[in-house]
Amino acid sequence: MAFLKIVNLFLVLALAQSVLCEHNDKLLEYTIQNFASIPKHYEVIAANATRYLLKDEALLANHKPEVMEFKSKLNVFMDKYANSGKDISASYEALDYFVDLTDYYYELPEDKLNDEYRFIIELLNKYHFRDISMELTTRMEKFFETFVKMFDENRSNYESNVLEHFDKFTAFTDLEEKVKYFID
């Protein structure tokens, strides 16, 4: 019973702090909490899926050129992931590579789909690469949507140079461009 009272007390304090925060503080808090945590979360998921895929017996037994190139690309992602702890930009670069790698195979035209590419797509499906890529994309789009909404609600509190940067940012329609601009 005492434990529940303590939990309730912490909830009340957290809610009070949230209500009393300035809108600018809430936007900053939201941005800090999410923009750094999103890539870290999905990097781990993507790296784990890639590790399992690289150990897949069918992949290890296949030495055809397209499959060997695919293995090489997976290892490039793992290298990028290993170096991504340095900064947020490196994290997003690693994830961008993962998404591009995944999209490349799923977006191949029918006339280019040979047995090796079909094999690669089967492996990508087995380890849920498309799902990971789509979840990341959806999460980033939702982050930016919420960010824009929160910013717009307090537009009058910002100086003109901040508003100019924000307007440039909102003009981008491509998610990759938004991320790059946001990081810079």
- pLDDT tens track for 76-114: 999 999 998 878 889 999 999 999 999 999 999 999 999
pTM given for the model = 0.81
DSSP state of 184: -
- pLDDT tens track for 119-150: 999 999 999 999 999 999 999 999 999 999 99
Domain boundaries, the chain: 22-183
In terms of Cα–Cα distance, which of 55, 49, 73, 60 is closest to 124?
Answer: 49
- State the chain's mean pLDDT as an integer: 87
- pLDDT tens track for 49-76: 999 999 999 999 999 999 999 999 999 9
The H-assigned helical ranges of 83-153 are: 88-106, 115-126, 129-153
In terms of Cα–Cα distance, which of 55, 52, 42, 68 is closest to 120?
Answer: 68
Q: Residue 76: which residues within 8 A CB-CB, separation 6 or more?
A: 97
User: Could you tell me the end-to-end alpha-carbon distance of the chain, in angstroms, rounded to an integer?
Assistant: 49
